[in-house]
A and B are shown apart, each in its own frame.
Chain A
Amino acid sequence: MTRLQSAAELEDYRAKLLSVRDPAKPCIAVCAGAACDGLDSAAVASAFAAEIKKQAVEAKLDFRVTGCHGYCNKGPNVIAGPGDICYFEVKPEDVPDVIACTLKGEVLDRLVYRDPVSGEKAVHMNDVPFYKHQMRILIGDIPRIDPKRIDDYLAVGGYASLTKALLKMSPEQVLAEVKKANLRGRGGGGFPAGLKWETTRNAPEKTKYVIVNGHEGESAAFMDRAMLTGNPHKVLEGLIIGGYAIGAQQGYIYTRHDSPQMAEHIQAALVQAKDLGLLGKNILGSGFDFEVELHFDVGIFVSGESSALMRSIEGHTPEPRPKYIRTSVSGIWDKPSNLNNVETWANVPEIIGRGADWFTSIGSEKSKGTKLVSLSGNVVNSGVVEVPMGTPLRTIVFDIGGGVPDGKAPKAVHLGGAMGGSLPISMIDAPLDFDEMSKLGAPIGAGGLLVMDEDTDMVEIARYLLDFLVEESCGKCVPCREGMWQMLKILTNITQGKGRKFDLDRLADLAEVTSLGSLCALGKTSSDPLKSMLRYFKDEYEARITAGSQAQ
């Protein structure tokens, strides 16, 4: 592959790609996302490959294995085109029929969606309830892309925003556009990305770094993995644009050592982008040089905390550092380092491509754009969901999620994973918005949304989440290490009917001191679930303690 030297050469290359691609040509996309993979979508994919070869229909039918389509509990997912016909729970023995129907432009009735109550059919993606209520700006391209083929990303318009940024905009203009878009960090805090970029850009040190936080260690959070594995180039494009705006020549993608598929896709994306001249020296003749390195964690949760992550890239133990001097000013090797989460970076090409005004037309007053949500728990439909910010939780849980299964009543929704909070179902009309959710004590955080039914034991939920975090504390500072340990002991006692009447006071003190006194965000937010429980479900805790002491 020859390096592309200019925007015109990239557009020529894209035009050539598109000239041989016929949108009306039948195509089949098999999901190889984590959930489908677990349901052996690999067997389905090889059955397709073998059958296509056997029937010698390669020329008539496009076939690709893609990242996560989103509807995880209905896997293995297959989407047939044209028309985005969704087939669910596809087995290898269904493959010949799917191929036959797709070639004939027909629908294979037995594999399409049926409403579990009315039995009503939904054939096309836009009609399936799970997809119908979403706005899939970031993940919508995933079924159209083989993540290991840069050409697929270019065919859906990829790297056009990079060209625009590098060749038609100054770094200052790119930064101004991101600031105007009011893009807020998707990693948890919701801090305005543009302001963070500006801080790094204005920091006096000349060498600067930009980093993708692709660590996503929370249980019940799986959308960053879907994004990065399914469309790595989109994230990379955002990172390169960010590097340009900030004045960094080196980027890092920090991710997990235990996700080989994701690592393989990122690795391939970096190699192909470099081969095409979208990374390296003088990108598209712009004079801008940019390199990206992939870096893996060492398998502990706190590696995803920004200062620990940077220590890890330096080659040290990922132990958090106090951030009285921000990492955006003094990060990796004490150089200004701008860290954003996968989803934040993925938004950047959209903002540059379509403009800040378009971006701010989506979402709520103070939270703009869309939000990826990992929907799971006691819910009929689970998977990766993308909705405009400000969407009521009710839409996500009932319209997209299909409500609670087995005729049970919903009791609560838990947002933000192990450091999030639980809300009673009476608050289901609250909007998915950074500030609103924080006010309610259930910050969006990592983006996991867990639905809980009437049988859920809220003491056990808090205990379970702390049990996870206790093992993930690095152990350096006292309030995190000891505070969580003591909270876990007390909660364990309560679940075992050994609670005592002063336990709630002890829990309240521990929760307060752990959040005020801990060194990093892990400790500071570790008691958030418990605080939300004491705010909304205190009666249940008191009842458990009373019942326990009466039984003794």
Chain B
Amino acid sequence: MTDMVLQIDGKDVTASTGMTVLQAAQQAGINIPTLCHHAQLEDYGGCRLCMVEVETRGRTNYVVSCLYPAEKGLVVRTRSEKVDKIRRVIIEELMAHAPDAPELVKLAQEYGADRNRFEKEASFCVLCGLCVRYCAEVKQKHAVGFIENGPMREISFIPELAAKECWNCQECFAICPTSYAQAAYLLTEALAFPGQRKKQAPAVKPQPHTTFGGIPVIVA
């Protein structure tokens, strides 16, 4: 791993080969907001909140820092009028679905986002995919997945797998920024296998994860 120097917000920052701009910034203590990023998961580039301005070969581009590779001599601006506007509109778009999600409320304050700017569609899920990816990549259970395309997209627990795997895990509930993963699971349980978990052995107490807003976890 060779080291390189790039510039983030006017500061020289050292990064090693293979690092993303986000990692380089975090290592240097520079905060970039994220929603779908999780240290244990492959970067996804879905929420686009971590978008920054980069300058390469004299051109300004807007890129997601969680995926953009750190390069020698790269000039990065984590805040600018455009970057702030992108973040503000994204937060406003997400608040149409989850107006009271703690993470979003906090970000809305910082970026001056108006939670009522766009027509509401109270689905509560912001489709960050943390539950889906965590279940697939870390737990390797694939008990929750995406269905449908575009605005019809939603997360869905697969009843056959969820009945076996979820109650004793619940780890995705804690990383969900809106508590929707938990609600979706309980709805699946109520519809597809009600009462079944009461017959199971008592749940192993899951490790609490409080990455996002410290939302309480249901423990049996």
Interface positions of A (Cβ within 8 A of B): 300, 322, 324-325, 470-479, 481-486, 489, 506, 509-510, 512-513, 516-519
A509 & B150 in contact (Cβ 8 Å cutoff): no
**Is the CB of B176 closer than 8 A to any CB of chain A?**
no
* CB-CB contacts below 8 Å: B119-144 with A: 119, 126-127, 129
A481 & B63 in contact (Cβ 8 Å cutoff): no
A473 & B89 in contact (Cβ 8 Å cutoff): no
Nearest 5 A-B pairs (CB), nearest first?
A: A475-B153, A473-B150, A482-B93, A513-B89, A485-B151
B82 & A474 in contact (Cβ 8 Å cutoff): no
A478 & B67 in contact (Cβ 8 Å cutoff): no
Q: Which residue of B lies closest to A474 (CB)?
A: B149
17 additional A-B residue pairs with CB within 8 Å, beyond A509-B89, A519-B64: A325-B69, A470-B151, A474-B149, A475-B152, A476-B44, A479-B86, A481-B127, A482-B93, A482-B94, A482-B97, A486-B93, A486-B119, A489-B118, A489-B119, A513-B90, A516-B51, A518-B48
Give the residues in chain B near A509, CB-CB below 8 Å: 85, 89
**Is the CB of B110 closer than 8 A to any CB of chain A?**
no
The number of A-B residue pairs with CB atoms under 8 Å apart is: 101
A519 & B93 in contact (Cβ 8 Å cutoff): no
B3 to chain A, nearest CB (A): 20
Q: DSSP majority for the B interface?
A: loop
A519 & B45 in contact (Cβ 8 Å cutoff): yes
A475 & B89 in contact (Cβ 8 Å cutoff): no
Q: DSSP majority for the A interface?
A: helix
B68 & A324 in contact (Cβ 8 Å cutoff): yes
A481 & B151 in contact (Cβ 8 Å cutoff): yes
- A479-B90, A517-B51, A517-B86 known; A472 vs B150 contact (CB < 8 Å): yes
Q: Which residue of A lies closest to B117 (CB)?
A: A506
The interface bits of chain B over 170-202 (1 if a CB of A lies within 8 angstroms of the residue's CB, else 0) are 000000000000000000000000000000000
Interface positions of B (Cβ within 8 A of A): 44-49, 51, 62-64, 67-69, 82, 85-86, 89-90, 93-94, 96-97, 117-119, 126-127, 129, 146, 148-153
Most-contacted residue by chain B among A476, A478, A483 (CB, 10 A): A478
A481 & B94 in contact (Cβ 8 Å cutoff): no
Give the residues in chain A near B67, CB-CB below 8 Å: 322, 324
CA–CA, A481 and B82, complex, Å: 20
A478 & B48 in contact (Cβ 8 Å cutoff): yes
Give the residues in chain B near A473, CB-CB below 8 Å: 149-151
CA–CA, A509 and B67, complex, Å: 25
Give the residues in chain B near A489, CB-CB below 8 Å: 118-119
Give the residues in chain B near A300, CB-CB below 8 Å: 149
**Which residue of the partner chain, among A478, A516, A518, contacts B47 with CB atoms under 8 Å?**
A478
Q: Which residue of B lies closest to A300 (CB)?
A: B149
Give the residues in chain A near B82, CB-CB below 8 Å: 516
- A324-B67, A516-B62 known; A478 vs B94 contact (CB < 8 Å): yes
Most-contacted residue by chain B among A472, A475, A512 (CB, 10 A): A475
Give the residues in chain B near A474, CB-CB below 8 Å: 149-150, 153
Give the residues in chain A near B86, CB-CB below 8 Å: 479, 513, 516-517
**Which residue of the partner chain, among B44, B48, B126, B150, contacts A517 with CB atoms under 8 Å?**
B48
